[in-house]
Structure 1
């Protein structure tokens, strides 16, 4: 079977676009005005999410990454108050995803640093993760790696602290959490070690790996080896998720290219691939040609 390819957040076309609001603009409003602004945005973005699910179904895409900012300020009291009235609508959207056979995942932003040596940063990281877990719960997605919350390791040389903090996370977060290797702080071997000790799955990113290790080919033996080692961290290997991107200006450029021109041969055996390319659905279409 060919891998299932995943769409990240929006489309190049205008088919999938979300609304947001800046903190400055929101705080200019009265309390009632803030609730009205957020209610309008949340309703529109739930409708956009519904459209994104239909788009994925129509295009044969079975994995969709929700934007972390889909419900701005949901981690604050005003956002949670607004969401209470919309919870049934969001539940219906999640049920629709399940009925369509779509896998929903999220990738919290760079402010999540569980390995930080600052208690304040760690507390804020847990708060952000809880918001994402709450969104998944509202969408009635399982508390399992099927509904992945994927993050990076964060502050380097803090693996013991990272393992300990993962173990202390509440179940709605911990049971969905996956860790991804990066280019600087935690390479593939290091994040695999953390995943093994913390008993969470590893999301292998081949491009981060070649940048980190300064490799000259996606078919370096270590790519297939790490893909295999990462798969062993998944309770259900058929749910293993990996990332693919290409360098923009050169093979080892960490910036993402518009399309995917090169793929590890070993990725033909990866069950689920998130496509991290600027041109989104166009990159997915090109990859389909490569896989076929």
Structure 2
């Protein structure tokens, strides 16, 4: 392990699990559109009801897993309720019928002290130059916002929906679309810097212009800027600048990953063996590593010194 990760700590960040475990303990069911379209209307309803019910039970299991392993943040899968935004509206109706059952998730998460967040997929591009893509992206965000409502999660950046800037060199489009978003989306929306289209500084300016919190990703930053260390002064600079975009700094969320074959490799490694020292001050960190819970356990033991 690098010296960075072995330094003494002055803060105790909360570490987050992304979607599934590397083991089979946390997994979710899905269905392809091709298979779905072959079903009759009644078969569609029964199939989605079965998948959604099963996935809610698996989400409860994910919360139990996080509780058992002292993981305080969980990024729910954006595919938790597959095809719930399909044009036949069957999935949306099934979820409405499950409202009471779904609401228990939020109640249980609060009781366990576990924060649930969401990262919609790559098809959400609200900076697109295609009006159809922008509209489709907003509809996806509306569906996710509705899901979070049904799960009993608050309309705040505690239960955030995090997206990237999308199409490069269109910050004005981003700002315009964000300012016109309905409150159920905007009250949860955060932006993250990426490796290609929007640097940390560029997405920071968008966040500052829209009062949207910024999720800083140190690895995206070093890849975009071609840096050789997480201790480059710009890493701490962007961390603090991102913190200032959060109305509640105690809710600030950051991401971390390590390169698979080299420091600046965009592919994620199995474990996290190098951390920016400034991340000692991060209240919440999503761990984006292939080994999932094993990576978190190693950080808890070696970096935080909290596990036996």
TM-score, normalised relative to structure 1: 0.99
Structure 2: 5+ residue stretches without partners = 1-10
Kindly report the root-mean-square deviation, in angstroms, between the aligned alpha carbons of the 2 structures: 0.7
Q: Which residue of structure 2 lines up, in the alignment, with residue 143 of structure 1?
A: 155
Q: Which residue of structure 2 lines up, in the alignment, with residue 81 of structure 1?
A: 93
Q: Which residue of structure 2 lines up, in the alignment, with residue 274 of structure 1?
A: 286
Q: Which residue of structure 1 lines up, in the alignment, with residue 136 of structure 2?
A: 124
Structure 1: 5+ residue stretches without partners = none
CA contact (8 A) 1:268 1:291 kept: no
Aligned mates of 1:153, 1:256 — CA distance in 2? 21
Q: Which residue of structure 1 lines up, in the alignment, with residue 171 of structure 2?
A: 159
What are the residue-to-residue correspondences of 1:69-218 with 2, within 5 Å? Answer: 69-76=79-86, 77-218=89-230
1:102-130 deviation line (CA, Å, top 9, x unaligned): 10100000000000111000000001101
Of 22, 33, 36, 1:12 maps to 22
1:175-226 deviation line (CA, Å, top 9, x unaligned): 1000000001000000000000011000000000000000000111110110
Q: Shift of the alpha carbon at 1:79?
A: 0.6
Are 1:21 and 2:34 counterparts? no
Aligned mates of 1:236, 1:98 — CA distance in 2? 18
Aligned mates of 1:84, 1:195 — CA distance in 2? 33
Where 1:96 maps in the other structure, the secondary structure is helix
Are 1:35 and 2:48 counterparts? no
Where 1:279 maps in the other structure, the secondary structure is coil
TM-score, normalised relative to structure 2: 0.94
CA contact (8 A) 1:259 1:282 kept: yes
Aligned mates of 1:210, 1:46 — CA distance in 2? 37
Q: Which residue of structure 2 lines up, in the alignment, with residue 53 of structure 1?
A: 63
1:77-122 deviation line (CA, Å, top 9, x unaligned): 0111111221110001111111111101000000000001110000
Q: Shift of the alpha carbon at 1:20?
A: 0.2
